[in-house]
Structure 1
Amino acid sequence: MDERLTCLNHLRTGSPYNKPCLLLAVICEIQCGHITTHRVQINPRLLSRYHDLYELVSGERHRANPWLPLWHLRNDRGPAGPIWSPDYADSLAPVADQLGQPRSMNQLLERFSSARLDDELFAALQKSDLAREACSLLAHRYLGDDKATLERLMSHLDTELASGDYQRHPERLADGIKEAAPVPARSAAFRSLVLEAYDYRCAASRLRYITPDYRYLVEAAHLIPFSVTQDDRPSNGLALTPNLHWAMDNHLIAPGPDHHWHVSPAVDHLVADNDWLCRLDRQPLVLPRDERWRPAPEALAWRLDHLRR
């Protein structure tokens, strides 16, 4: 074992899930290219990963309390110092050690919204082989009491780490199926990249909602179906609420190359129950700020060509 990982064997775990799940979430974020320095931003994506892992190992997502590991991890030692050093607000830094435990995420974020991971540990976790070793260590050391749960967790982590390679190299998502079984990793990468590109906002209704336990309202929808092109690039996707994802897949609505929504003539405008669809007609398509991820013109044309007539 790499010496820099030995600190992971000695976590102080009052709750058996909190710190291991947070560290696993951080490792996945590093391997997906979202954390590129030793400074870790406490953002919805990281918290969503933590909740996903907590739910997987405990079966009780609603019991996750991310502010606890985010606060108490500062007391654990890494290879060169504390594993986790919060970047306190200037007014709180002098009295940080005297502060009691926060009782909510809001209370914690009032104190700090980023923290520095031990430099040597961060350097180790940037390497894919050591990241996998760290994941296995944390899973078996703290989360491996139940064999079936451990198998599900390791399968999930394998998918997330493989997905990270696609997220760092999204051009590979246009290559079709070449590896033995890459579909789950490709799908995870497509979902993550698309939802992030649209900031978790529906490209049609503009709705954006993240639940208190960090579930997203929107889904990642293919413009040209994967079965047709095997193209998982973000430019072949949109973020949509489930009902509008369904409507687009059934060719009742379509975004066009003019960057506006079009409603099928098959949808009767005189039926009041259809109003939620009819209101979209000629409404502008929400576009990502990053031009790399804006929908490809040929994908928009495909959708418009397949609108029910």
Structure 2
Amino acid sequence: MGQPKSLKQIEQRFSTATLDPALFSALEDSTAAKEACSLLVSHYLSTDSDAYNRVRQYLQTALTSGDYEKHPERLAGGVREESQKYARSAAFRSLVLEAYDYRCAASRLRYITPDYRYLVEAAHLVPFAESQDDRPTNGLALTPNLHWAMDSQLIAPGPDHRWHLSPAVDALVPDNRWLCELDGQPLVLPRDPRWQPDRDALAWRLDHLQR
């Protein structure tokens, strides 16, 4: 059987894979995983430079992101390289969504498609540009519309673990009902207390609510 000559051929040959337990254990070591990935990419994609570069870049980001997920304390502080930014962003998203079990922290909505796409997004409490903090305690899982509403300072989660509505939102306008109904509602919290939102980050959000 000849070697696949493109990424498409590999995707056609392999839809799922099961690793031997011993191999899985060995690949838990990040150095071993990086070496294995490098060997596989070089072996199967050496004749397709475009696929080779895309898969290599993807694996580098995925492996670095995996390291961050194992050590979330490293997700705070300045970003030195663009690749580090992508890896940290991916780790932040993964950790936050998993912490909230893919459920919106405001509406409680949850939906996962068969191909593992989610209704919610990972939203920073204190924006990354200001905090340089990608730790999951600086994040919430929110549906896109409520993510936008929070970043627009129309709603805010407070240290009291409740949602607060900006006085700028006119409650007499029927179209604003979806926001008004959140006022005073409890914030959905992760089951694991390690990932519950940081009190100072919640206070920051409440302080920046439109008045």
Q: TM-score, normalised by structure 1?
A: 0.61
Amino acid at match of 1:263: L
Amino acid at match of 2:119: L
> Secondary structure of the residue that 2:10 maps to in structure 1?
coil
1:160 to 58, 62, 71: 62
TM-fit CA distance, 1:172: 1.1
Distance in 2 of aligned mates of 1:248 and 1:304? 10
| 2:114 aligned with 1:120 | no
2:157 to 244, 255, 258: 255
| 2:11 aligned with 1:17 | yes
TM-fit CA distance, 1:121: 1.6
In structure 2, do the counterparts of structure 1 residues 305 and 122 end up closer, same or farther at CA, with 3 Å as the change threshold?
A: same
Q: Which residue of 2 aligns with 1:240?
A: 142
Q: Which residue of 2 aligns with 1:138?
A: 40
Residues 119, 143 of structure 2: 8 Å contact kept: yes
| 2:193 aligned with 1:199 | no
Q: Which residue of 2 aligns with 1:209?
A: 111
Q: Which residues of structure 2 form unaligned runs of 5+?
A: 4-8
Q: 1:135-172 CA deviation, whole Å, 9 max, x = no partner?
A: 23333444566432332221111111111111111111
TM-fit CA distance, 1:18: 5.8
1:188 to 90, 104, 122: 90
Residues 16, 143 of structure 1: 8 Å contact kept: no
Q: Which residues of structure 1 form unaligned runs of 5+?
A: 1-8, 10-14, 21-65, 74-83, 85-116
> Secondary structure of the residue that 1:138 maps to in structure 2?
helix
Runs of 4+ in 1 over 6 A off after TM superposition: none
Identity of aligned residues (%): 68
- Which deviates further from its counterpart, 135-144 or 190-199? 135-144
Q: Which residue of 2 aligns with 1:98?
A: none
> Secondary structure of the residue that 1:16 maps to in structure 2?
helix
In structure 2, do the counterparts of structure 1 residues 147 and 263 end up closer, same or farther at CA, with 3 Å as the change threshold?
A: same
Residues 261, 284 of structure 1: 8 Å contact kept: yes
Residues 125, 139 of structure 2: 8 Å contact kept: yes
Q: Which residue of 2 aligns with 1:229?
A: 131
Q: Which residue of 1 aligns with 2:6?
A: none
2:171 to 253, 265, 269: 269
TM-fit CA distance, 1:119: 3.7
Amino acid at match of 1:261: W
Distance in 2 of aligned mates of 1:167 and 1:293? 12
- Paired positions, count: 204
TM-fit CA distance, 1:180: 7.3
> Secondary structure of the residue that 1:262 maps to in structure 2?
strand
Q: Which residue of 1 aligns with 2:183?
A: 281
In structure 2, do the counterparts of structure 1 residues 180 and 205 end up closer, same or farther at CA, with 3 Å as the change threshold?
A: closer
Distance in 2 of aligned mates of 1:198 and 1:19? 35
Q: 1:114-133 CA deviation, whole Å, 9 max, x = no partner?
A: xxx42432243122222112
Residues 252, 307 of structure 1: 8 Å contact kept: yes
Residues 220, 237 of structure 1: 8 Å contact kept: yes
